Structure 1
Amino acid sequence: TTDVPLSAVTLLEQAIVIAQQIGDSQSEAFALGRLGHVYECRQNYEQALTLTQQAQFAAANYDSRYLWEWQTGRILQLQQKTGAAIAAYDLAVKTLQTIRGDLANASRDFQFDFRDTVEPVYRELTALYLEQATKRQTQTQREKDLGEMKPEFAAAKPIASALETIDRLRVAELQNYLGEDCTLEANATPVTVVDQKTAVFSSIMLGDRVAVVLTLPAPNHQFRSQVQWLPVSAQTVRTTVNQLRRQLETRSDLANTYQAASRQMYDWLIDPFAHDLQAAQIETLVFVQDGILRSLPMAALYDGKQFLMEQYAIASTLSLTLVDPSRIDRRSLRVLGFGLTQPSVVEGPTFFPPLSYVKAEIDSIQAALPDSKGLFDEAFNLDRLQQELTQNGYPIVHLATHGKFGMDARDTFLVTGGKREKGKGESANNERSVMNKAFDSQ
């Protein structure tokens, strides 16, 4: 808003003078930065930029410096100085990377208000990179139409920077969620190229827009990428995904009404790249999804004749920097399977129904991979899980149970078969276990 009271300016100017007089550089930085934001809101960008850069220099520690680096980037972008804006945003992201570990180990009460003050930095920088890539793709296409030979996927560098930035956000989100309960070791660079028969799809939610990036293998262990913006708003995508999920979960849908939404999602996400996938002879699709798209079962996407799983092998991952790219020796695969088949009660009123097909599910895994182990109900408890993971090297852990995933790790749990001791007048309740503790040493 441009309607900022004059008294706010006066108070901030007084705060700057007082902070300078007492030698409080951190308070001086905040007053300068907030005053810069006032001028940003008033669209006086030159004055806003001057004050914000003074705040950067005055900031006594990294915890607040990134705020003014971020603000500098916003103002520069408003001045249409995209290159300088990207440099400022990139500096803010690097500052965040240096302090994220310290904050993850701090008390949860002192964690960032992540969605308001951290996530936008990464997403706004990602948007700048992708807009830059889109312009280069458009220019390349014009030159090709004019008969000038240019390399395909000329926007690879800004796209690679965008993917790296959004992947850093995903790792930071996970670390922020888990806090000190789990240590994440990320690869130095994203594993963008898996093999010559695998393509990687990365979806990115940016405000009310959705971008999809396709990364294909190229000769000499290189890769080539392109970006497409969905022709509809992010809200339309959310509505369609939720509709599809509800329809897929309706077992009485004998008319297959889900196919319309499934076809629509295919047309948005896959169809723009269908020719490139066929030309590259791709066999496997890896999806790194964002936002509501993480809940979308990609195997169920429908092109009008076939489901996506009939055309490609499909895999999903939260972040490519958290994935070990080495091939798995299928001959040595073993699965540790835990399952809950009985009804469960957690913390009194919370009831979970029995999972009738879990035993058959885990039995089929043991039949396919004979060295696997399946444990059910009372044998499915946190102590046994920790024991098995510590004493035996299982590359795959399969958990078939109920759970709750809240906004905070403290409100997130999986239901185990172990019963906690009951007090007088109480019925025995199933244990709720924070499972990330079990994996902490793995």
Structure 2
Amino acid sequence: MVISVQDKSWTPSNGNSKKMRQSLLLILTVLLSTQNALADESAQIKRLIDTVYSQGCQNIDQQLSPLFSSANPIKGLRQAIFFTQAKSLHTDNFVLEILYRLQWQLGKIFKSQEKWEQASYAYQQAKQALERLRKMGIKPSQTVSQQVYYGLVDILFTRYEKEKRQGLLKEVVETVELFKQAELENYFQDDCLVTGNADRVENHLGKQTAIFYPILFPKAAGTRSVELLLISPNKKIKWIKPPWRSVNEDISNFKEKVEAFRRALENPPRENPPGKSAKQHGNALYQLLLKPIENQLKNIKVLVFVPDGILRTIPLVALFDGQAFVVDKHYAVVTIPGLSLTKSVGTPLRKNPRILLAGMSQAVSLTKSVYFSQLSKTQEALRAIQRLYPDHNRVIQDEEFLISQLKQEMYKIPSNTIVHLHTHATFGKEQKDTFLLTYNTKLDQNDRLTMDRLEDIFSIGELRQSPIELLTLGACETAKGDEQAALGLAGVAFKSGAKSVLATLWRVDERFTSKLMEGFYKRLKAGQSRVHALQGAQREIMSLKESREGIVPRDGSEKTSSLIARYWAPFILIGDWF
């Protein structure tokens, strides 16, 4: 350190000179000791990072804990981030494992201090580190990822309340979309699922189409529970703040409402515990989700629903406004797993499509607890559709319904553009429990039509510029209330390569399934869009009743029973709605 006196005309007295030297010496001593202490602290932090790095992935959080609880954690974390970034950031996954933890912790501190810009920047850096890890094939725990991504979203909402910038809401959507992509890639164990396939749905909105984008927050991500976004035809994002926001509906209570609604819809009345009906549960959810956006939907004909979390397990069309189900509204509902998780949107079905009809009527037992019952209406269901397209179909059933035969059919010219599968399809918590039943599984229970094999088969048409425009699954189901299983169903269109999929959230009585499918294909042939064809077919089922004579239309004086909802409600269209 150099100290110079610029004004040489000033000359202190001898007494003052001595005091001055003593004061300067004291200042220098304090500065040097502070500098040494800072250097020691910096060296300690560097040694800590070096130690954590050298020991690998064991107990990272525990080893980094001294930084989180130090007297000046912000300064210490920034130094730790600097020393970590000095290592092989772009090639070393363990550096990123350390880095995202440091940045996340720094973000949490800024968030607690309500320094929102600094907090969002730190969370963004943590998110980027997690994204790099994912691209390297390293998958951090879903709980951690969820807390980082949704923690950032929480901060961005807070910033929007203060700054009112549309760009912040766009960043909210982009952050949630990245998490949805990671979820789907993790479920299907496919790191390249999204690469090169992304096509933004917003680019294909008509003048009467809107996107409903609810966001469900995990408990640990902040104080929020549910936020609602609506994307208008002009791509503007609107944050809808419903009246109940002031009550701060707890996410656990919200999930309980969703689960109760699913149970009331799916179970026969005799199996439901005493209490609210499906309509009452549906009305409670309508008030929370759709009532706040009612006025925004007056001129909308198609509502694109992007469910989050447990909302994937329920059909939006079965919500009840107090007078009617959503299926009776002036708009039809289509489901997509994410804005960038849908194959090309906006192409109507061909006027004279070639249809491959396949079915498995025989029962199959895999284990004592896993049994697929006989589908006795298979032949009748396939023939009903065959009559609608007499010159453009091919039917394979039971012993013919083999994976090899299915693949062979895809090579034929002209190409099949619609595939209708009247067979059991199950979507489990993990990809290995997700498959479609063919005769292969009857012969060998381990020989299953998995999503990977289905993707491989459908890619034949895609390579020939003749992709599958519609895949219909006539008898599929997801585990009750299982968000992961519902995620698999939501992503089946994107994974398989089909532009759209018609499927069911739970197994439905074959008699109703056959009638609904016949009504759906009739409307398609008449020129209706996929989503409006489904809406019309569901309304038709609502007008039916069970009697000794079978399934017959209701009299005009009869009211629709909520019992029928379990037969028409689980059918959802995923993907392209045109």
Specify the alignment match of 1:283 in structure 2. Answer: 301
| Contact residue 182 and residue 436 of structure 1 kept, 8 A | no
Structure 2: give runs of 5+ residues left out of the alignment.
1-42, 220-224, 460-578
**1:133 correspondence with 2:149:** no
Largest Rg, 1 or 2: 2
Specify the alignment match of 1:432 in structure 2. Answer: 448
Point out the more displaced range, 289-298 or 329-338.
Answer: 329-338
Structure 1 position 354, deviation (Å): 2.0
Specify the alignment match of 1:107 in structure 2. Answer: none
Q: Deviations over 1:27-59 (max 9, x none)?
A: 599999766544435785434533542354244
Specify the alignment match of 1:46 in structure 2. Answer: 74
Structure 1 position 315, deviation (Å): 0.2
Q: Distance in 2 between matches of 1:420 and 1:258?
A: 37
Q: Distance in 2 between matches of 1:43 and 1:247?
A: 54
The equivalent position to 1:315 in structure 2, one of 334, 337, 345, is 334
Mark the CA change 1:157 to 1:115 in structure 2 (over 3 Å): closer, same or farther: same
**1:61 correspondence with 2:72:** no
Identity %: 26
Specify the alignment match of 2:236 in structure 1. Answer: 223
The equivalent position to 1:118 in structure 2, one of 138, 145, 149, is 145
SS in 1 for 2:300: coil
The equivalent position to 2:47 in structure 1, one of 2, 5, 17, is 17
| Contact residue 147 and residue 218 of structure 2 kept, 8 A | no
Mark the CA change 1:235 to 1:359 in structure 2 (over 3 Å): closer, same or farther: farther
Specify the alignment match of 1:97 in structure 2. Answer: 131
Q: Distance in 2 between matches of 1:75 and 1:28?
A: 26
SS in 2 for 1:306: coil
Structure 1 position 81, deviation (Å): 1.6
Amino acid at match of 1:283: K
Q: Distance in 2 between matches of 1:308 and 1:80?
A: 41
Specify the alignment match of 1:425 in structure 2. Answer: none
Q: Distance in 2 between matches of 1:308 and 1:432?
A: 37
Point out the more displaced range, 344-353 or 388-397.
Answer: 388-397
Mark the CA change 1:409 to 1:15 in structure 2 (over 3 Å): closer, same or farther: farther
Specify the alignment match of 1:146 in structure 2. Answer: none
Point out the more displaced range, 55-64 or 336-345.
Answer: 55-64
Q: Distance in 2 between matches of 1:284 and 1:74?
A: 40
Q: Deviations over 1:217-271 (max 9, x none)?
A: 23xxx42422336642221222112211111123347999210001111111100
Point out the more displaced range, 281-290 or 60-69.
Answer: 60-69
Q: Distance in 1 between matches of 2:436 and 2:418?
A: 17
With the length of structure 1 as denominator, give the TM-score of the two structures: 0.76
| Contact residue 70 and residue 89 of structure 1 kept, 8 A | yes
| Contact residue 337 and residue 362 of structure 1 kept, 8 A | yes
The equivalent position to 1:158 in structure 2, one of 146, 152, 168, is 168
SS in 2 for 1:322: coil
| Contact residue 45 and residue 79 of structure 2 kept, 8 A | no
Specify the alignment match of 1:77 in structure 2. Answer: 111
**1:177 correspondence with 2:180:** no
Mark the CA change 1:315 to 1:374 in structure 2 (over 3 Å): closer, same or farther: farther
Q: Deviations over 1:134-192 (max 9, x none)?
A: 455xxxxxxxxxxxxxxxxx553222111111111111111122224863345667323
SS in 1 for 2:233: strand
The equivalent position to 1:377 in structure 2, one of 378, 395, 398, is 398
Q: Distance in 1 between matches of 2:209 and 2:159?
A: 26
Q: Which structure has the higher relative contact order (CA within 8 Å, separation 6+)? A: 2
Amino acid at match of 2:120: I
Q: Deviations over 1:119-147 (max 9, x none)?
A: 322222222223333455xxxxxxxxxxx
The equivalent position to 1:401 in structure 2, one of 418, 423, 439, is 423
Q: Deviations over 1:93-117 (max 9, x none)?
A: 33333442330xxxxxxx5243133
SS in 1 for 2:340: helix
| Contact residue 300 and residue 308 of structure 1 kept, 8 A | yes
- Which aligned pairs between 1:190-269 and structure 2 lie closer than 5 A? 190-192=200-202, 194-208=205-219, 209-218=225-234, 222-228=235-241, 231=245, 232-252=249-269, 257-269=277-289
Q: Distance in 2 between matches of 1:181 and 1:402?
A: 28
Q: Distance in 1 between matches of 2:366 and 2:179?
A: 33
| Contact residue 181 and residue 437 of structure 1 kept, 8 A | no
| Contact residue 35 and residue 48 of structure 1 kept, 8 A | no
Mark the CA change 1:19 to 1:251 in structure 2 (over 3 Å): closer, same or farther: closer
Q: Distance in 1 between matches of 2:380 and 2:251?
A: 39
| Contact residue 344 and residue 430 of structure 1 kept, 8 A | no
Specify the alignment match of 2:319 in structure 1. Answer: 301
Structure 1: give runs of 5+ residues left out of the alignment.
1-12, 104-110, 137-153, 422-427
Amino acid at match of 1:116: T
Specify the alignment match of 2:559 in structure 1. Answer: none
Mark the CA change 1:244 to 1:25 in structure 2 (over 3 Å): closer, same or farther: closer
Specify the alignment match of 1:149 in structure 2. Answer: none
| Contact residue 284 and residue 314 of structure 1 kept, 8 A | yes
SS in 2 for 1:213: strand
SS in 1 for 2:448: strand
Mark the CA change 1:355 to 1:337 in structure 2 (over 3 Å): closer, same or farther: same
| Contact residue 203 and residue 212 of structure 1 kept, 8 A | yes
Count of residue pairs the alignment pairs up: 394
With the length of structure 2 as denominator, give the TM-score of the two structures: 0.60
| Contact residue 19 and residue 28 of structure 1 kept, 8 A | no
- Which aligned pairs between 1:354-365 and structure 2 lie closer than 5 A? 354-365=374-385
Amino acid at match of 1:322: L
Amino acid at match of 1:434: T
**1:86 correspondence with 2:124:** no
Specify the alignment match of 1:417 in structure 2. Answer: 439
Q: Deviations over 1:379-418 (max 9, x none)?
A: 3332233333455644444444334434432343332222
Mark the CA change 1:374 to 1:81 in structure 2 (over 3 Å): closer, same or farther: farther
SS in 2 for 1:173: helix
Specify the alignment match of 1:6 in structure 2. Answer: none
